[in-house]
Each structure stands twice: as C-alpha cells, then as structure tokens.
Amino acid sequence: HIGVFQYVWCQLCVGPCQCPSTVPRCPVGIPLVFDSCGCCQLCARQEGEACTDQLPCDTHRGLQCDYSASFPGGPGQCVGNELGCEINGRRLEEGQAFQPSCAQLCHCLGGGVSCVPLCSDDLQRPTDKCPNPQLVRLPGRCCKEWMCHDLDNKQARQGREGGLSGLSFGPISNCIEWTSDWSPCSHSCGPGVSSRTTIRKRACLLQTETRLCQVRPCQTLCYHAPFWHPHDLS
C-alpha cells in the first residue's frame, strides 16, 4: 500500500511548504525568486537590504548575502560579489591603499578598511646627553620627534613622516611591528578566505596574509517533493 508521503531534504526546510495564497508583485526590474527551500516565490532582495536564507538576494545583479557584520543568527546584507570598499563616496578596489593622513596608512581588504599607524606611540626617550628633551612636531614633518634644546638644538629623531603616498604598497620609513586581526571569513558558509595585515620590523614592509576559513557548512539545497496519492499512480 502506497500512502501519502513527502520528501524533505535539509534540516532547515521541515514540513510542507506554507506560502502566501497569492504570488507577490515586484517593482519593475526586480525578479521573482524562490526561497532556499524551493517553496515560495518572493521578490529578490536588492543591494543594501537585509537578507537571509529565506530572503535571498538578487543573484541576477551579482548580489550575495553578507553576514560578516551580523550578529550570530541575525540577518545579513545584500552586497556585490566583487570585493572592494567605498570611502567618502569613492570606490576602491580590493587591496588598494590610501593615506587619510600622513600618520596613517589604510587599505581596502575583504570589503572593509584596515589601517596601520605610521607614527610610533612608544618613542624611546633620549639619553642623559640630551638634557631637557621635548617631544615636538617639526614644521613640514608628520610625526613628533625628541628635541634637545640645550645642545645646539641637536635632535634625537625617533620618527619621520610616512614614506608611502598615493595608492601603493612599499617600505615604511618609520617602521614598527604590527599585526591586525584576521578579517571575517569571505563567505558566510562553505570555504572562504580570511586576511590580515602585518608589518615586519626587519623587512619593514606592509604584507597581507591570507588563510582558508569556514564559518559553517553550506546547507544542502532544500527540496520538497509533492504529495503523492495512490490514484496518482497508474
């Protein structure tokens, strides 16, 4: 005897489909898409809008749901597949560097911004041969330096203005060892990439390190088989 049965594949899609009685009408240019369970049709979420597995983004426009800035279990945000960041209305490519000031170097990494200081906050105090030292910022220079006013204005310089300009990587003249935190995984599920920035004191170069990461396995695409009745079989 063959009774009524239903296949449900994947843990998140349990039970029969429960959809609104009418198919939603989307604004012009926004397509209808199925949710991750393949059950209900809904209007695809657009760039900047909240998204979940049940509220998918508009993949026709190259959007994906980004959970990197979300709380655990919270919704993500629809973003473009291409990595990059926007600073004061200006779009920067992945890995592109910029200096918001002479004392700071930043670059676009993993869709966000990572910055490192170019002036050390821990300058070694001059020796006793430099009486009455004062930490001052000299005209035309960025970082503060020790000045010895009682020895013919000799100065023990511990820092200079950063040598990087524009949008390029290279040696940093005022070198301090520094390592950023690992960036969020590039994908909310399945294999992704995480990055961090380091400055090695010996080489004095800004370097980007990457590693593989996985927040959680991707859920198997959900599929609901239709209800079957004995009279459907011949």
Q: Residues 32-45: pLDDT tens digits?
A: 998 888 888 999 99
Q: What would the pLDDT profile of 92-129 be if each residue is shown by its tens digit?
A: 776 777 888 888 888 776 667 778 777 776 566 666 77
Shared domain check, 195 and 206: yes
Is the overall model pTM greater than 0.85, yes or no?
Answer: no
Shared domain check, 201 and 131: no
Structural domain boundaries, residue 172: 84-119+166-214
Structural domain ending residue among the three candidates 94, 128, 161: 161
**45 in a domain, yes or no?**
no
Rounded (10°) CA dihedral 85, 88, 92, 97: -100
Tokens 């200079």, residue? 160
Residue pair 136/176 in contact (Cβ under 8 Å)? The answer is no
Shared domain check, 210 and 144: no
**140 in a domain, yes or no?**
yes
pLDDT at 223 over 50: no
**Of 136, 135, 140, the residue nearest 161 (C-alpha):** 140
Tokens 């990494």, residue? 109
Shared domain check, 101 and 177: yes
pLDDT > 70 in the chain, percent: 60
Shared domain check, 143 and 108: no
**67 in a domain, yes or no?**
no
Structure tokens at 128: 């006793």
Shared domain check, 203 and 172: yes
Structural domain ending residue among the three candidates 131, 146, 161: 161
**171 in a domain, yes or no?**
yes
**208 in a domain, yes or no?**
yes
Our count of domains for the chain comes to 2
Tokens 């959809």, residue? 19
**181 in a domain, yes or no?**
yes
| Helices and strands (H and E) in the chain: how many | 0, 18
Shared domain check, 150 and 132: yes
**110 in a domain, yes or no?**
yes
161 — pLDDT class (breaks 50, 70, 90): very low
Structure tokens at 5: 């049965």
Shared domain check, 113 and 90: yes
Mean pLDDT, rounded, for 174-190: 71
**202 in a domain, yes or no?**
yes
How far is residue 104's CA from residue 113's CA, in Å, rounded to a whole number? 12
Shared domain check, 128 and 110: no
